[in-house]
Structure 1
């Protein structure tokens, strides 16, 4: 009787814990072939002349894949790494290792689903099946109180119904061991230069260094609960809220840790300490679910031309460049963009403010801002990024959910201390009015 080999195609699920496709493959097959493919498409230069993936995010990805390989090796397995079009690479590996089936987690953004369809077609030509799993959300699609096509466009309604009528599934068990075929060439991770990027420099002002991988992600999750001042927000000068966000988004975006792992860690912490002070973290997880399900429901609507889009005239392009480089003269916006460019991460509040300023005050097409965030953010996730920008632009949602940010009023109420504005503020900026990021 011939052995069964299943190829596990890792994409945005770079972990061994709570990973259904990995556990299912171990249970169903005699041998498992884990594969990660660096697709050149994501490192090409876009229409704006910039790479789709910036250097900081690329480094985080490389670290995450390296950590996944190390963790698989600890279970007796190995990770094959290749650079190329998955629709070409995966069929080649499937033929080489006599693969019987390929597993992967289903994506929702159109670029990712297009790639999945190309892979599925190529595998079908070999009479191989690409099996889809759902593993990127907090609430499983099958557990929602409504079909995808009937998901409420209002986040408030979505939240109320889901929390009332749905439950979060427990985490998936971790394989005890992994048996792979005899791998003759596991492949080396590409260098930054081979991806067309320069090695990024770490900014000394950054308060946290984001290191990619499941190991670092789990350590960050544990630190969030063991460091009490990270759990509950505190107030700074002038009553401004000091950022105590979990900073887990980079690891969530690549699936180094799962939404369910975070949720059940919250539940465990609250039960053990008889507290309920992590509601904002749960809310953030639900927003990620909401945007992902909205992408599934509306598809390319988030990218299509709309009547509100502003023509990209020379004047608008100039305003966009000032926004990108933090030269608007508005200290909070400039500090946020300086920090984004230097570190690849800014708080959710800063993102909302920067996006609102570009769209409403400067009247620049929201998609230009979304594409820029795609390049720069370490924690870029298609649904969360493009969904949030569309939300700020007032597209496809209940208007009652979309609150306008008064930039002047908000900045005047914020704490006034930022290392990311003092150095780079434009000459005509009010340097005395600085903000804490």
Structure 2
């Protein structure tokens, strides 16, 4: 079911960093090709606002809500009808996420460069954010938590959530996002929720949306965050600049670095847990133990056939994006997983914490047998909106910092400027920008 890549012997040493990254399993995710699809959709939303959004929802999601914005009474009904066990689990997820994200809030720092010369870095939240929550083949109330909690911790003054309308909803929820998503919004105190999915949701956030009579239904935002499919990623790429974005999220992925001390059944269970997300989901095991590799293969065959989403899981595990990578040593395994730069990286080895401390590239690292990715998805307190497609080598997951901007405030007295005036003039002339220097000397006409 799952392929093998043998990097033992000279196979690994013959590859440089880029060659190694290219050799490893990875899903095909052509955002550029999707741009041709989303460009006219976004233009339609810009031109026709609410009417275009309602028509696109009916076309792509098979549902047309009574109103684009979910009424407050529908949000309240979602909580009232929520299974108590799910409510309790969501509240615990929120509590833990708030604990972790509260400690991420930055404080302003001031540096006295010279007497009378101070530079302060002020951290200011963005004015308004649009938080996207996917709702295709699965329901993700956890993504509501992961988007909203850091935005609230950053003290963003205005935030809105969008999630696709659901054709299978009945009663008061018909045509609105899944009731569990709505309940999560209500539990978090978010009352601005829109029944809009896909690329058109990103366009709505970027351009805003008005009714035919000109009434504004959704104000434009300054930043859009949250995972989604390839069309959501393409819309983010298209509209980046008009809006800020967190990342162009691709298919989810898990890498597991394991040695012969790992439990093959647990490794297989964790690989399958990510494979059930999507047929393009990636599951990669890197190990220096051929015996473990064989045991994991057998466990995958057994578990994949027994899981509810067996067809989806088998497709993902059998795709080019998944595989078992054999290496000669744990040191080689670390080199491989650093090159792969996984969204989620599990360390299931002896001295797992020490091995984890050596990893440089990963969206999130899960240490030991009792920290599966599923824990991070829901209740670890960490954030599960993470960089994919190898982007963890340069990008971070969603955090409070994602919603903050650093502003340098420069406060110099006359004496402090005069002290450094000659150096400013010298550097301005060196760059052949004499007016820069003149802007300083103009302040000291008698000098």
Give the shorter-chain TM-score range: under 0.3
User: Structure 2 length as normaliser, TM-score?
Assistant: 0.22
User: Structure 1 length as normaliser, TM-score?
Assistant: 0.23
The structure whose Rg is larger is 2
